[in-house]
Structure 1
Amino acid sequence: MNEQTVDKDWWRGAVIYQIYPRSYQDSNGDGIGDLNGITGRIPHIASLGVDAIWISPFFTSPMKDFGYDVSDYCDVDPMFGTLSDFDVLVETAHSYGIKVMIDLVLSHTSKDHPWFIESKSSKDNPKADWYVWADPKPDGTPPTNWLSIFGGPGWQWHAGREQYYQHNFLVEQPDLNLHNPQVQDALLDVVRFWLDRGVDGFRLDTINFYFHDLELRDNPPLPPEERNDSTAPKVNPYNHQLHLYDKNRPENLAFLERFRALLDEYPAATAVGEVGDSQMGLEIMGEYTKGDNRVHMCYSFEFLASDKPTAARVVQVMEDVDEKAPEGWACWAYSNHDVVRHPTRWDLGPAAARAMTTLMMCLRGSVCIYQGEELGLPEADVPFEDLQDPYGIQFWPEFKGRDGCRTPMPWDNSNQNGGFTAASPWLPVSHMHLPNAVSEQERDPGALLHHYRRAIGFRHAHKALTKGAHSKVTHEGDVVTFTRSHGDEVIFVAVNLSGDPATIDAPAGQWHQIGQELGSVAPGPDGKLHLGPWQPALALKV
């Protein structure tokens, strides 16, 4: 392809489909999804009309945190296949016009990574400073009050070095020291390896955790009224601190600029960062995506939290984005592999799920949808004896962990495993998911799957929705309203986010109704918009 024809801005307004590879499709009968399974399901993904896929980690790993503990950044774990299988996946996706993004975990590695094995061997080896090591306090306790997001102290004692190492997550996931330029260089070599292999971009795990405070200052306490559960469950003491020093450090900006400069050597590579912070998420998103020399887009946890997005809440979030990240670019998500699926989290019926999807596809920003979201899957109830997630095992029963959103994808209703595998699946397939299987919904014209296809298609049909500006987002009662504009195209959007009918004034001027395939309503003879429960009104300015 001629470089002049490459859309370097393809990510702006894109719809990205997240795949959790363990649970998408098993191709070899071992009960675990794999790369060849994803390749075989590319036609389904293409039928949705998405721009890209994001594949959660498939690198070599001891799987203490299911791939987010990497022991080799440049190889595929045998349970998922081989590098050749990955190459075929990329080639197949590209043949369908789908870009491939992969999940990079740059803040920490597995304790089994050769870098850490060398680092822990002494205080003077070549990689001694590649991880965050610190001496104990005089009384032998950890050097700071920093906590692990998985519960307990964020430091682990190592007898060989007689020092602590930092771990923001599991004890088995030591944190890299990105203050060391050699570590940065090694990580950027990993980025180049995958770009040279044909990937189109990256999802950056825990992008705001890359640096720690060199002065090792304690985090201040967070008042109870400021705590929320968007980053960690309510029962986790992690929520009791304002995380100023164990993450969110200003030194990260310079590294992100190095990272972006590398991406810019390639025709249209992109990145979306995961900002994990309950208090400063939008400010960090604004900093990290500001200008054209850092990451392209970030998502924080506003719509991944337990708070149901009422009309007033949506307006507040969008106002906060305009205030705290005016030059940034958000990537919106309702569900992912770390949170309770949103139909359960927000108690949404089918009509409400349609309305929320329509709204998301009209918001300014890019969009991530999570496998099974297009089927309206509720959270699965995984019994304790079947749990795999160490997070859930640690905090059971007050927090059941992440397995309920990670159960296998139901492809058909012909057997108890939903067409995912012929073997015993690594997590049980939920019986409540089988009626929502792809095969069942394909036969039902009114199924949510078809609504997702229509909503994504509607978004792509209008540049105002993908790349355009937006007016101030407002609400009249339970109805969210705003306009999107790009050039001469101006689109009015109103979505009733309640189960009750609502009436609002139609927008002034001449408008042509669009979006009938999404249930859009036209103005009545009285000049009002009479919206049914969970109904949108979509119009193009004439």
Structure 2
Amino acid sequence: MDKTVTDPKTKSSDTGHEWWRGAVIYQVYPRSFQDSDDDGMGDIKGITARLEHIASLGVDAIWLSPFMTSPQADMGYDVSDYCNVDPMFGTLADFDAMLDKAHQLGMKIIIDQVISHTSDQHPWFKESRTSRDNDKASWYVWANPQPDGTAPTNWLSVFGGPAWEWDGVRKQYYMHNFLASQPDLNFHNPEVQDAVLEATRFWLERGVDGFRLDTANYYFHDKELRNNPPHMPDSEDAGLDAPDVNPYGMQNHLYDKTQPENLGFLRRFRALLDEYDDRTTVGEVGDGARSLKTVAAYTSGGDKLHQCYTFDLLGPHFDPAHIRHCVTAFEGMVAHGWVCWAFSNHDVHRHVSRFIKVESERAPVAKLAISLLASMRGSICLYQGEELGLPEAELTFEDLRDPYGIRFWPAFKGRDGCRTPMPWEADKDNGGFSAAKPWLPVPAEHQALAVSAQNGNDHSVLEHYRKVLAFRRANPVLKTGSMHFLDMPADILGFTRQGEGERMLFLFNMGRKPQDFRLPKGVVIDEAVVMPGMRGHHDGDHVTLAPFDGFCARL
């Protein structure tokens, strides 16, 4: 029988015509997309040169990972000037030209806004650390040591070690949730909030369509500086999104992030965006078992974030029970919010490598994954290169640039394996990414999967992506219609999408064996619908699916 996940009668606010509802967003990692000046690094002019490729996929928006001025200690997530482009990526004029061309091609631009912390090279921090009584003395989180000289609290850094660094000038510790060179801003200070909002306005005035808010639940810390309790097996741990190699997950992060004051700032952020037409926010929320409660709070009431994503589908599990659990849990907990689903991004191993057991499964799993993702309710986010079916790159320690990977090697190999350059030309050095030695190597297996090798090949992963996204656009029910799960055999994920005057059935065999089964009682097929790349068929209420196959019909 149908298991209702979303009821359009109670979700009337979700059926509006905002462009971001149900949008397909394509993430570009600027360092690795296209190098236009042969210095081995991708840049904004390179992105502009490749916009037609992104548009050919049929996406609605592009999310740009950081490109602002930065010493690049954490690949741009350590900003030293919020209102400029880092010279390695180009100029503000280059950005404006890229934005204009994207808009001409019918695509929106969303940019990363990394405001929970800055670089230690930001002028704000340089001034803040000079004394305890300068104009920006309280712009960062400073605290006195314990009587024995140890850190003010037991808080840990996501990147390993204590979340506190000693400063000999102020003779105080400053807080850093990430690298020691990424000091946390003090959002309890209204002047800090005003400053980051003005930096946001700078980009709104340039015509940016939205913001992906990095670590959106890290803005505030506990003013009383209370210690985090240890993680207990039955507690709602807030650090489970960190790899097991990191002791960060051994604490229940009650006081170093996700504070109630965050709601007030998110209202201020939303009020700023509401001064402009058709803008959006996508919040990144990493809060362990509490993530859905946090997302619910951050998206409720229509006065905070437009949508959020969690890490639920960014792990190793790719099976019907996991997908159903994640969707059902989100819809059950987040009554009025909107979700953005993704299988890959710049922080996790590429999903085909996480999901397959042998190389021969790579292309079938890549095709099944996008077919499934495009059939789900919510917005969806694609990560550059997944449209080629790229696997995770195997790198040596000498190749690594990611501080997280270097810190935890060899127990954890870091994030560089998903950040290698985009392969464009199969017959050119470095896959056509750059004539110079790239900042990360281009694996031979990636070069063989280059855009040039897949363009026009009807059976390629790339062409499958284009067809599937066209299928999603042609069926509006897939963007905002309700989603109801069906009780099916273990390897089969079955659900219906209802809205826009129709009801569609989707069945996916996520297993490695053929499946023959009968539809649940009461599910009656009106007509089969051709779904790109899927070969499933039916005879009355009997459905046959090959491994990693799918079937679609109208009911």
Q: TM-score range by the shorter chain?
A: over 0.9
Greater displacement, 67-76 / 378-387: 378-387
Residue pairs, 1:19-34, within 5 angstroms: 19-34=28-43
Which of 288, 293, 299 pairs up with 1:289? 299
Partner of 2:7: none
CA shift, 1:518, in A, is 3.2
CA shift, 1:230, in A, is 5.9
Task: Return the letter of the residue paired with 2:479.
Answer: T
Task: Return the letter of the residue paired with 1:517.
Answer: P
Does 1:77 find its partner at 2:92?
no
Contact residue 25 and residue 61 of structure 2 kept, 8 A: yes
Contact residue 70 and residue 86 of structure 2 kept, 8 A: yes
Task: Return the letter of the residue paired with 1:460.
Answer: R
CA shift, 1:359, in A, is 0.8
Partner of 1:523: 538
Residue pairs, 1:247-396, within 5 angstroms: 247-306=257-316, 308-347=317-356, 349-396=362-409
CA shift, 1:187, in A, is 0.7
Partner of 2:205: 196
Contact residue 70 and residue 105 of structure 1 kept, 8 A: yes
Secondary structure at the aligned position of 2:36 is classed as: coil
CA shift, 1:503, in A, is 2.6
Secondary structure at the aligned position of 2:127 is classed as: helix
Alignment TM-score, normalising by the size of structure 1: 0.96
Provide the rounded CA distance (Å) in 2 between the counterparts of 1:85 and 1:402: 28
Residue pairs, 1:63-462, within 5 angstroms: 63-223=72-232, 231-306=241-316, 308-347=317-356, 349-462=362-475
Provide the rounded CA distance (Å) in 1 between the counterparts of 2:401 and 2:423: 19
CA shift, 1:515, in A, is 3.2
Partner of 1:498: 511
Provide the rounded CA distance (Å) in 2 between the counterparts of 1:515 and 1:238: 47
Provide the rounded CA distance (Å) in 2 between the counterparts of 1:217 and 1:475: 48
Partner of 1:538: 552
Provide the rounded CA distance (Å) in 2 between the counterparts of 1:99 and 1:536: 31
Does 1:482 find its partner at 2:492?
no
Task: Return the letter of the residue paired with 1:524.
Answer: D
Task: Return the letter of the residue paired with 2:403.
Answer: P
Secondary structure at the aligned position of 1:471 is classed as: strand
Number of aligned residue pairs: give it. Answer: 533
Task: Return the letter of the residue paired with 1:258.
Answer: R
CA shift, 1:126, in A, is 1.1
Contact residue 159 and residue 179 of structure 2 kept, 8 A: yes
Contact residue 311 and residue 475 of structure 1 kept, 8 A: no
Residue pairs, 1:502-513, within 5 angstroms: 502-506=515-519, 508-513=523-528
CA shift, 1:74, in A, is 0.2
With over 3 angstroms needed to count, the CA separation of the structure-2 counterparts of 1:407 and 1:37, relative to structure 1, is same
Task: Return the letter of the residue paired with 2:334.
Answer: A
Provide the rounded CA distance (Å) in 2 between the counterparts of 1:237 and 1:313: 26
Partner of 2:10: none
Provide the rounded CA distance (Å) in 2 between the counterparts of 1:311 and 1:489: 24
Task: Return the letter of the residue paired with 2:261.
Answer: E
Per-residue CA deviations over 1:174-221 (Å, capped at 9, x if unaligned) read: 000111111111111111110110110011100011110111111111
Per-residue CA deviations over 1:399-438 (Å, capped at 9, x if unaligned) read: 1111111000000111340000001111111111111100
Partner of 1:3: none
Contact residue 167 and residue 174 of structure 2 kept, 8 A: yes
Secondary structure at the aligned position of 1:216 is classed as: coil
Contact residue 240 and residue 289 of structure 2 kept, 8 A: no
Task: Return the letter of the residue paired with 2:84.
Answer: D
Structure 2: state its 5+ residue gaps.
1-15
With over 3 angstroms needed to count, the CA separation of the structure-2 counterparts of 1:230 and 1:11, relative to structure 1, is farther
With over 3 angstroms needed to count, the CA separation of the structure-2 counterparts of 1:473 and 1:274, relative to structure 1, is farther
Contact residue 286 and residue 329 of structure 1 kept, 8 A: no
Per-residue CA deviations over 1:234-281 (Å, capped at 9, x if unaligned) read: 100001111111111111111111111111111100010111122211
Secondary structure at the aligned position of 2:84 is classed as: strand
CA shift, 1:222, in A, is 1.0
Task: Return the letter of the residue paired with 2:533.
Answer: L
Secondary structure at the aligned position of 1:249 is classed as: coil
Greater displacement, 449-458 / 501-510: 501-510
Provide the rounded CA distance (Å) in 2 between the counterparts of 1:372 and 1:477: 31
Does 1:46 find its partner at 2:41?
no
How big is the alpha-carbon RMSD for the aligned residues of Structure 1 and Structure 2? Answer: 1.6
CA shift, 1:329, in A, is 1.1
Task: Return the letter of the residue paired with 1:511.
Answer: D
Provide the rounded CA distance (Å) in 1 between the counterparts of 2:487 and 2:41: 46
Task: Return the letter of the residue paired with 1:401.
Answer: G
Per-residue CA deviations over 1:92-149 (Å, capped at 9, x if unaligned) read: 0000000000000010000000010111111111111111111111111111111000
Contact residue 315 and residue 474 of structure 1 kept, 8 A: no
Task: Return the letter of the residue paired with 2:413.
Answer: K
With over 3 angstroms needed to count, the CA separation of the structure-2 counterparts of 1:225 and 1:448, relative to structure 1, is farther
CA shift, 1:524, in A, is 1.2
With over 3 angstroms needed to count, the CA separation of the structure-2 counterparts of 1:229 and 1:529, relative to structure 1, is farther
Secondary structure at the aligned position of 1:74 is classed as: strand
CA shift, 1:484, in A, is 1.2
Secondary structure at the aligned position of 1:174 is classed as: coil
CA shift, 1:475, in A, is 4.0
With over 3 angstroms needed to count, the CA separation of the structure-2 counterparts of 1:55 and 1:126, relative to structure 1, is same
Task: Return the letter of the residue paired with 1:190.
Answer: A
Provide the rounded CA distance (Å) in 2 between the counterparts of 1:514 and 1:230: 41
CA shift, 1:528, in A, is 0.9
Contact residue 24 and residue 420 of structure 1 kept, 8 A: yes
Task: Return the letter of the residue paired with 1:197.
Answer: R
Provide the rounded CA distance (Å) in 1 between the counterparts of 2:296 and 2:491: 28
Provide the rounded CA distance (Å) in 2 between the counterparts of 1:209 and 1:113: 19
Provide the rounded CA distance (Å) in 2 between the counterparts of 1:282 and 1:495: 26
Provide the rounded CA distance (Å) in 2 between the counterparts of 1:243 and 1:516: 44
Provide the rounded CA distance (Å) in 2 between the counterparts of 1:220 and 1:514: 53
Greater displacement, 284-293 / 31-40: 284-293
Structure 1: state its 5+ residue gaps.
1-6
Contact residue 17 and residue 53 of structure 1 kept, 8 A: yes
Contact residue 471 and residue 531 of structure 2 kept, 8 A: no
Task: Return the letter of the residue paired with 1:167.
Answer: H
Provide the rounded CA distance (Å) in 2 between the counterparts of 1:117 and 1:280: 35
Identity of aligned pairs, percent? 54
CA shift, 1:443, in A, is 4.0
CA shift, 1:505, in A, is 2.6
Alignment TM-score, normalising by the size of structure 2: 0.93
CA shift, 1:62, in A, is 0.4
Contact residue 238 and residue 287 of structure 2 kept, 8 A: no
Provide the rounded CA distance (Å) in 2 between the counterparts of 1:443 and 1:537: 24
Provide the rounded CA distance (Å) in 1 between the counterparts of 2:138 and 2:30: 33
